Structure 1
Amino acid sequence: MDDDTPDSIAPQVRRLKQRALGDRLRESLLFLPLLLLAGGVLAEEVAHVVDRHHRIGWLGLFTMAPDAAVTLLSTIAGATITTAGVVFSLLVVSLQLASGQFSPRVLRTFWRDRMGQVLIGLLLAAFAFCVLALSQIDTSAEQAPTLTMTFAIGLALASILAIVGFLNRITRQQYVGRIMERIQLEATDLIKDLPYGSQVGHRCGEPVAAPEPDDAGVPLIVRSPADGWVQQVSYRAVLASVPPGSTVRLETRVGSYLIRDEPLARIWPAPDAATGRRAARQIGEAIIIGATRTMQQDIDFALRQLNDIGLRALSPAVNDPTTAVEVILRVTSIMRPLLHADLPAQAQRDDDGRTLLTPWDLDHAEYVRHAYGQIRLYAGAHPQVALTLVRTLRMLRDVTAELADREAAVAELDRQLAATIDDARRAGLPDAELAPLTGAAGRRQE
């Protein structure tokens, strides 16, 4: 284990901030297009300098008169800026459809699409290149600058290809199965990193039994510096922030919402004033708070997104039980590896006697409850959805029972099974529809 001194806090916090910035930039519809726009401006300047000092003979195919070059550049500039407006309109329509039909929380999968960002950037780069090139054309010359015209035609062709790729991609992205697949794959990547890894957090000590606060005095309470969702936490940086021999208990977890000035952490025994202020500042830096939930460390957010899609599908306005069935299957594709994976210990102690408590972190049973508890309430009136839910719960129950230290998860799966049958009865399903459910459940509810 690396040395967890105060000097080691800075690089860990820096990594968190870099990941948070990278995640925001990846979802930005402005960052990559601006980079490509700047690249188009730079390319035009380079082409102008080369054309002024050299004549490239092997580009003779693109040799043309200045008047023809002006017409071509004007046409490309007008077409690209018009197409950019159309692309923005398509993106807005896609976001509206996805938000209304599935869930507002799945919009992030559209924001993160590189194809759309590259297309917008190419169109802006082509527009800027052609506009700047128009100012460089000497209509009294024998011919237009060859390299400049080559770049302009190349950008136009690349934009056309990007438009075709974007149209193909955006039509496929609207398919609900693709949306759920992307959410599932993001969650699976985090699960592969459990219990400790570069994404979910490095090991910061040995697992220990959670100690009780001693009676040495009132603990120091570290309060939330802002309102927002907890996106990332560096447990190692939190633990390294307190003096040796201290115990720090986080009063939040990744994926929870914080209100400014509510308790964020408690430290005991309480350090002196100067040390306490430094520890509070460092703990605040080790917890990244943002305006929205993200998938940087939050496996539970994937379950939330999929459940939102399933609940929307089961609503009377949509009435799409087939989508709800696929939601249950996708959720189970997340839950099976998650139930097999070991979760980070909720009490860890390092070599300097510092103890970190994270009692609000989700355990396996809570993940089961979050995965199936809400959609189960609305599945009872739909026999095929309820049957799919019963079969997946039974399968998970059987494979989880073979694992050690999963008794709580097995008990929660049994409870969800029994509750599914009860919900179907309350929904008024006849005995003919209840029989397959009770049979698939193994009649545990009787």
Structure 2
Amino acid sequence: MRLSKTLLLVKRVARNLAARVVFGAVLALAMAFLSPLIEPLLPSRWTEQVKPDAVIPILTILATTMLTVTTFSLSVMVQAFQTAASQATPRAYRLHLEDTTTQTVLATFTGAFLYALTALVMFRADLYAPDTAIVILGVTVLVIGAIVLAILRWIEHLSRLGSMDDTLAMVERQAREALERAMQQPAFGGVPLDADPELPESAVPVPAPSGGYIQFVDVEALHGILAERGGHITVTSAPGQHVVKGAPVAWLIEGAGEDLDQITDCFTIGSIRTPEQDSRFGIVVLSEVAARALSPGINDPGTAIDVIHRLTRLLHEIGAPSGSPPEFPRVELPTVRAADVVEDGFASLIRAGAGHPEVIGAAVEALRTLEGADWPGMAQAARRMQGYALRHVKDALSVTDDRDGLAHEI
């Protein structure tokens, strides 16, 4: 499914914890209207046996326990995410907030609390008919079943939540997904743009509606607008790039018209980088984790080497950009280049680890492996980065054996 701006907003709302929690209260409110429709379908002896007095104590227990469990779980989540941010990188904190397992579990607990509380209020306000108690009991049993499954899932998830292994796996997974999308559609379905495009003098700039990072470009909507106007557009600011308000993010070659609002609405700009179209973001986060691990306060070369191995697997396995014809020929966009991701992944890591022979050795070995990757330009970028590593090694290592050994490898 192609990601449009509307679908992007829907996905972001779905990842929001509050949106999932509200479902519990909505479920209880819906029962006030659905229960009278369900009750006639049930055997009469069931409705006679189950009265509100049998359901209200269960709802009371549920509301009390779920409030405690939710409060405890939220404190554990915040502590785990803060630990990940301090040991890995602050960007990992934002990625952890989108962890679907944590969100689903917490939404189940909080939603169950709101469901029980709302159902109690509805009973006390006589908004539920007495005969519908059997329906509420049935829904409550289903809610309890969901709680049991969530607790089992939460126990298993807590064993690794916030750990370095969990953080690295999560970042690698998101980086892989973003890069694979970039390989399948190098320009998000548009025409790949040269690094330094030549723009005609008649080109009309499209100003950024606000300052921040470009998070999403709705290429399909842009193409539809330009098809009506008979124009073309060259997007010069790729997702992930920071812009200031009023700076040109694109240039209209033809079909400019007087109203640019439709064009600017196709660009989503925010205060942080997001992984939907920013294929380099995950690589940058992995590199930040390695640089933080090599800082004097942490001094963990093993994590840096682990990051190097993850980067090697990632960049070697994603393959080459697709050569399929553009789906939206009226839109030109920059593509992610092999040189960019190699620099994002290894440059800061080499600077931070220049004084660690084992780290630089792993980085050089990884770069030599990447010379055999299918991605055009990867071999040249890897060789250039090896030379960069050698120059840092010569300045950072004072022991001749370490320095000469790495220089021989390069």
Is the aligned partner of 1:438 residue 2:407? yes
SS in 2 for 1:277: coil
Measure, in 1, the Cα distance between the counterparts of 2:347 and 2:335.
18
List aligned pairs for 1:366-385, cutoff 5 A.
366-385=340-359
Is the aligned partner of 1:262 residue 2:241? no
Q: CA deviation at 1:287?
A: 2.2
Match among 244, 254, 270 for residue 290 of structure 1: 270
List aligned pairs for 1:396-411, cutoff 5 A.
396-397=370-371, 399-400=372-373, 406=377, 409-411=378-380
List aligned pairs for 1:7-406, cutoff 5 A.
16-43=4-31, 46-47=34-35, 50=38, 54-55=42-43, 69-134=55-120, 136=123, 145-197=133-185, 201-204=188-191, 212-214=198-200, 217-235=201-219, 237-238=221-222, 241-242=225-226, 248-268=233-253, 275-278=256-259, 280-338=260-318, 340-342=319-321, 357-358=332-333, 361-397=335-371, 399-400=372-373, 406=377
Measure, in 1, the Cα distance between the counterparts of 2:141 and 2:80.
30
SS in 2 for 1:276: coil
Measure, in 1, the Cα distance between the counterparts of 2:53 and 2:11.
46
Match among 396, 400, 406 for residue 427 of structure 1: 396
Measure, in 1, the Cα distance between the counterparts of 2:195 and 2:243.
27
Measure, in 1, the Cα distance between the counterparts of 2:194 and 2:174.
31
Measure, in 2, the Cα distance between the counterparts of 1:329 and 1:155.
43
The size of the alignment, in residue pairs, is 404
Measure, in 1, the Cα distance between the counterparts of 2:217 and 2:93.
24
Q: CA deviation at 1:212?
A: 3.7
SS in 2 for 1:299: coil
Measure, in 2, the Cα distance between the counterparts of 1:276 and 1:195.
34
Q: For the Cα contact (< 8 Å) 2:207–2:249, is it kept in 1?
A: yes
2:394 partner amino acid: R
Measure, in 2, the Cα distance between the counterparts of 1:114 and 1:307.
24
| TM-score, length-scaled by structure 1 | 0.77
**Stretch moving more, 17-26 or 92-101:** 17-26
SS in 1 for 2:160: helix
1:30 partner amino acid: A
SS in 2 for 1:387: helix
Measure, in 2, the Cα distance between the counterparts of 1:72 and 1:372.
57
1:341 partner amino acid: A
Q: 1:282 to 1:258 in 2, by over 3 A?
A: same
Q: 1:257 to 1:56 in 2, by over 3 A?
A: farther
Measure, in 2, the Cα distance between the counterparts of 1:36 and 1:120.
12
CA deviation string 1:395-445 (max 9, x = no partner)? 112x04xx6953xx433322211221222232224123234423433xxxx
Runs of 5+ unmatched residues, structure 2: none
Measure, in 2, the Cα distance between the counterparts of 1:307 and 1:393.
14
Q: CA deviation at 1:357?
A: 4.8
Measure, in 1, the Cα distance between the counterparts of 2:113 and 2:9.
29
CA deviation string 1:202-255 (max 9, x = no partner)? 1459x89987444xx553222111112112224455456558886643231111
Runs of 5+ unmatched residues, structure 1: 1-11, 442-446
Measure, in 1, the Cα distance between the counterparts of 2:4 and 2:54.
53
Measure, in 2, the Cα distance between the counterparts of 1:238 and 1:143.
56
Q: CA deviation at 1:69?
A: 4.7
Measure, in 2, the Cα distance between the counterparts of 1:136 and 1:53.
21
1:421 partner amino acid: L
Q: For the Cα contact (< 8 Å) 1:191–1:341, is it kept in 2?
A: no
SS in 1 for 2:368: helix
SS in 2 for 1:265: strand
Measure, in 1, the Cα distance between the counterparts of 2:214 and 2:197.
25
Q: For the Cα contact (< 8 Å) 1:44–1:129, is it kept in 2?
A: no
Measure, in 1, the Cα distance between the counterparts of 2:195 and 2:14.
40
Measure, in 1, the Cα distance between the counterparts of 2:393 and 2:47.
73
Q: For the Cα contact (< 8 Å) 2:15–2:103, is it kept in 1?
A: no
Q: CA deviation at 1:391?
A: 0.5
CA deviation string 1:281-309 (max 9, x = no partner)? 33312322223211111110011111111
Q: 1:276 to 1:20 in 2, by over 3 A?
A: same
Q: For the Cα contact (< 8 Å) 1:247–1:267, is it kept in 2?
A: yes
Measure, in 2, the Cα distance between the counterparts of 1:73 and 1:405.
62
Q: For the Cα contact (< 8 Å) 2:212–2:244, is it kept in 1?
A: yes
2:214 partner amino acid: V
2:73 partner amino acid: V
- Over the aligned positions, Cα root-mean-square deviation in angstroms equals 3.8
Measure, in 2, the Cα distance between the counterparts of 1:95 and 1:171.
14
Q: CA deviation at 1:333?
A: 2.1
Measure, in 2, the Cα distance between the counterparts of 1:153 and 1:267.
59
Percentage of matched positions with identical amino acids: 21
Q: For the Cα contact (< 8 Å) 1:44–1:148, is it kept in 2?
A: no
Structure 2 match to 1:8: none
Structure 2 match to 1:3: none
Measure, in 1, the Cα distance between the counterparts of 2:335 and 2:366.
25
Q: CA deviation at 1:260?
A: 0.6
